[in-house]
Each structure stands twice: as structure tokens, then as C-alpha cells.
Amino acid sequence: MEKIVINGGVPLRGEVQIGGAKNAVLALLSATILAKDTCRIQNIPNISDVSIMLHILHQLGADVRRLGADTVEINTKYFNSGVVPHELTKHFRASYYLLGALFGRFGHARVAMPGGCDFGVRPIDQHIRGFEMLGASVAFEENAVIALQSEQPMGNLIYLDVVSVGATINIILAAARARGVTIIENAAKEPHVVDLANFLNSMGADVRGAGTDVIKIHGVKELHGCEYATIPDQIEAGTFMTAAAATGGRVLVRGVIPKHMESISNKLIECGAEVLEFDDSILVAAPKRLQRCKIKTMPHPGFPTDMQPQFGALLSAAEGTSILSEGIFDNRFRYMDQLVRMGAQIKVDGKVAVLEGVPFLKGAQVKAYDLRAGAAMVIAGLMAQGTTEVESIEYIDRGYEDIVAKLQGLGADIRRRETYARGEQEIAG
């Protein structure tokens, strides 16, 4: 089992390159099912969620070619629409995009329920209702398989009861080749929704209004292949910006879209950091100790829920009392008990956490409960006095490419360790 070992207290300094957006790429890879010739996608991060999605596409008959470090060519011409079993879908949440893409291409789909980070109940009722509104009959079969069946998706007006990134993306995938027009009201506006719309339009689709809360999709008969480069990862960038500020460092985060980072940049400024925006990079410089702030996570363009744990780590040692409200998920504060092990003083009441800033955190053995909580533990270890060991780091590898090597490049005293029953061995980067 691998863990990450950090000797904290070192301010991060230098430059770091941000990779492609995990939550955009997983949608784009699913969208290749809708075309019958080759899609070439660049700026793909080398993370385990992407590897699993490519494996699933290959298992379903796609021709998948990795070209260099961050480019993939996919041809789904010879593609079977068999059942996508639980042993494949359970590894991550985005496997449910296969429902929308398979239904959009074949008029039917059978995909087992997704996995993904445990934040309490994560219903998919909005996805199901969207498919039904597009004419699908929906059955729940054994082994957690969801089956969609119809002649062909038919355009319709769909009002989402909840602003859902996944449901918005899944309905766009299902509607892109539907007969007629589909309008999604109360749609999610995240950058990865816009990236999917741009990708589909480069394949010959007609998706308008992405990035607003009303998206109109004129169904088209066929889609063709394309060449495309996905957007940078807003959350990876935000994680490194937060780590820079939390360690009192000075870091230039390269290859970002500053507009996507606004809510995060503004909160770092409110906490006392200096944030300078350039065309495709952002400089973060921070004093030794930051100030308190109040945050409520909201759908884009609000403060992203995927940045909540990272700020939990940062605020646990900021001056004063901070308040973190989780506006999206039922239970996304589990990681707080790991910060308390490091000396943080935190009270959680439902979806609100109150953090009394302590002068410094103390190194400890901690666990990554999920992807972003794992990133928060790494940030806490970088901030802390002494040594921190983070276990269950497979969660972190789901969404961060080479996080240890990138942090080493910023001067952090951090390394991976393989732990065996009888001892430990260091692993490069």
C-alpha cells in the first residue's frame, strides 16, 4: 500500500504546470461514442479515472490510441452497446455518462450504477427524469444495472429541479443526436459543461447556451470526428494556489484560464494572499499567516464544492474564526476529523463547519477519505510542523497527475512510500 510522507513547514516556491480538466475529459471521452470516426483529444491528464474510462471504451469495442503524454485518439465506429457492468462503473462517478452517450447513439443503454466519492446520498433522479423526458423507458435491473430503451431520443423541454453537473452533461449527451430540439432549464454552468458543448459542436452538433442556465440542443442525425484540446483543470489549479497560500509561499500556476479561477482567487485575496492574473497563469504569494474568511460552496460561478476541503486545511491555521458552509453535498466534512488529529479546532454542525484558527498544525498519520479530502490532507501536511503520513492515496491519484513530483518541484519535502508488512521503501516522485 502506498502513502505520501511530508515534512511540513516549507513555503512552496516556483512554477507548476496545470493539466487538463478531469471532469471535462471524462465527459468528452464519453461523447466520442456519438461519432463514427476518429476523435483526437489533447491535454488529457494521466490520472486513474481517465485510464479506467479509456479501458471501458476499449472493452466496448472502441479503437483507443494514446499518442504521447497527453493525447488520445478514439474511434468508436465498431462499438457494441452491451451491458457496462458494475465492476467497471463502480470506480468513479462519471461512468454514468455512458448512459447518456449510449442512449444518444443507439436509442438504448444498459449501464450499472456509478461509484464515486462518498459525500452522503448522491441521487441520480435528475438524470433518470431527463432520459424519460427524452422518451426512454427506464428499468432498474439486477446487479444495479440501469436500462434505457426507446426508438430514438426525442427532443423535449427539461427543467432540472436541482442544478446538477452530471445530469446537465448526461442530457446533452443523450440529446445531441435526438429528433427535434431539447431545452435544459436550470442547467449547470461549470466550465466542463461548456467544454463538452464546444467539443460536441466541433463534431457537428448544435448545442447553444452552455455556460448559462438555459441550454438548447438541436438534434442532428450524425456526428463526425474532430481534433480538440480540453480546458485546464480548475480544481487542480485551485489546489496548487491554495497550497501556495497555505504554506506562505510564492507560486506561479501556469496553463490556466483565470476567469475559471475567480471565486477561488477572490477568497485567497480575502484571506490576505496576493493574487496576480496573467493571460494563462496566476501568481499567488502569501504572508506567513492568513486571515479568516467565510465560504459557502455553490454551483458555478460560486465557490466550487471541490475546493471546500482544501480551504478547510488552509483555514484551520488562519488567524480568527472561519465558517465553511457546504451548499452542494449532504456530508462533505468527513475529512475534518483528520485535521483535528493534526491539532485543528473545528466544530461541524450539519452542513456548517466552524474553524478556530490555531497557530500551526502538527504532523500526524492521516487518511485520504476521497479525492479532494486527500488533497486537503496533503496541504495540511505541507503546512504542519513535523511529519505527516497520508494513507489511501489511491483516491488522490484518481484526479491529480504527478502531485508528489509537482510539489517536489515547488520545494516541498514530500515523497511516496510503499508500505509492506515488514517495512517501507521509498518510491521516486
Burial of 87 (0-12, 13-18, 19+ CB in 10 A): exposed
Measured CA angle at 254 (ends 240, 193), to 5 deg: 80
Give CA–CA dist 106/174, Å, rounded. Answer: 10
Residues 224-253 that bind ligand EPZ (CB under 6 A): none
Measure the CA–CA gap between 331 and 351, rounded to whole angstroms: 7
Tell me the C-alpha distance between 191 and 230, whole Å.
10
Size of the site for ligand EPZ (CB under 6 A): 25
Q: Which of 35, 54, 64, 117 binds ligand EPZ (CB under 6 A)?
A: 117
Cα(234)–Cα(251) distance, integer angstroms = 16
Q: How far is the CB of 119 from ligand EPZ (least distance, A)?
A: 7
Which span sits near ligand EPZ by CB under 6 A: 21-29, 178-186, 215-223, 408-416? Answer: 21-29
Residue 405, all three cell numbers: 513530483
Answer yes or no whether residue 164 interacts with ligand EPZ by CB under 6 A. Answer: yes
- In this chain, which residue has its C-beta nearest to ligand EPZ? 166
Q: Helix, strand, or coil here: 369?
A: coil
Q: Which residues are CB-neighbours of 186 under 8 A, at least 6 positions away?
A: 159, 160, 161, 162, 163, 213
Angle, CA 63 vertex, CA 61 and CA 65 arms, to 5°: 145
Query: Which 3 state secondary structure label does DSSP give 85?
Result: coil
Q: What mask of x and - would describe binding to ligand EPZ in positions 252 to 271, judged by CB under 6 A?
A: --------------------
Q: Is 312 near ligand EPZ (CB under 6 A)?
A: no
One of 75, 230, 242, 305 touching ligand EPZ (CB under 6 A): 305
CB atoms closer than 10 angstroms to residue 426: 9
With contacts defined by CB under 6 A, name the span among 33-41, 121-129, 344-352, 377-385 that binds ligand EPZ. 121-129
Q: Is 244 helix (H, G, I), strand (E, B) or coil?
A: helix
Span 23-52, contacts to ligand EPZ by CB under 6 A = 23, 26
Q: Out of 12, 34, 57, 94, point to the residue binding ligand EPZ (CB under 6 A).
A: 94
Neighbours of 399 (CB within 10 A): 26
Candidate list 165, 193, 205, 336; residue touching ligand EPZ; CB under 6 A? 165
- Between 329 and 360, name the residue whose CB sits nearer to ligand EPZ: 329
User: Which of residues 5 and 27 has its CB atom nearest to ligand EPZ in the complex?
Assistant: 27
Indicate which single residue of 3, 127, 260, 415 sits in contact with ligand EPZ (rule: CB under 6 A).
Answer: 127
Element (H, E) at 6: strand 2-7
By CB under 6 A, the residues from 360 to 379 that bind ligand EPZ are 371-372
Report the residue from 195, 233, 236, 306 that binds ligand EPZ according to the rule CB under 6 A: 306
Active site residues: 117
Closest by CA position to 30, among listed 72, 66, 68, 1: 72
Residue of 25, 34, 167, 342 interacting with ligand EPZ (CB under 6 A)? 167
Kindly state whether residue 179 participates in binding ligand EPZ, applying the rule CB under 6 A. no
Of 165-173, 175-183, 212-220, 277-285, which segment contacts ligand EPZ by CB under 6 A? Answer: 165-173
State the Cα–Cα distance between residues 47 and 45, nearest whole angstrom.
6
Q: 187 vs 314, which CB is nearer to ligand EPZ?
A: 187
Cell of 354: 466552524
Query: Where do contacts with ligand EPZ occur on this chain (CB under 6 A)?
Result: 22-23, 26, 93-94, 117, 122-127, 162, 164-167, 188, 305-306, 328-329, 371-372, 399
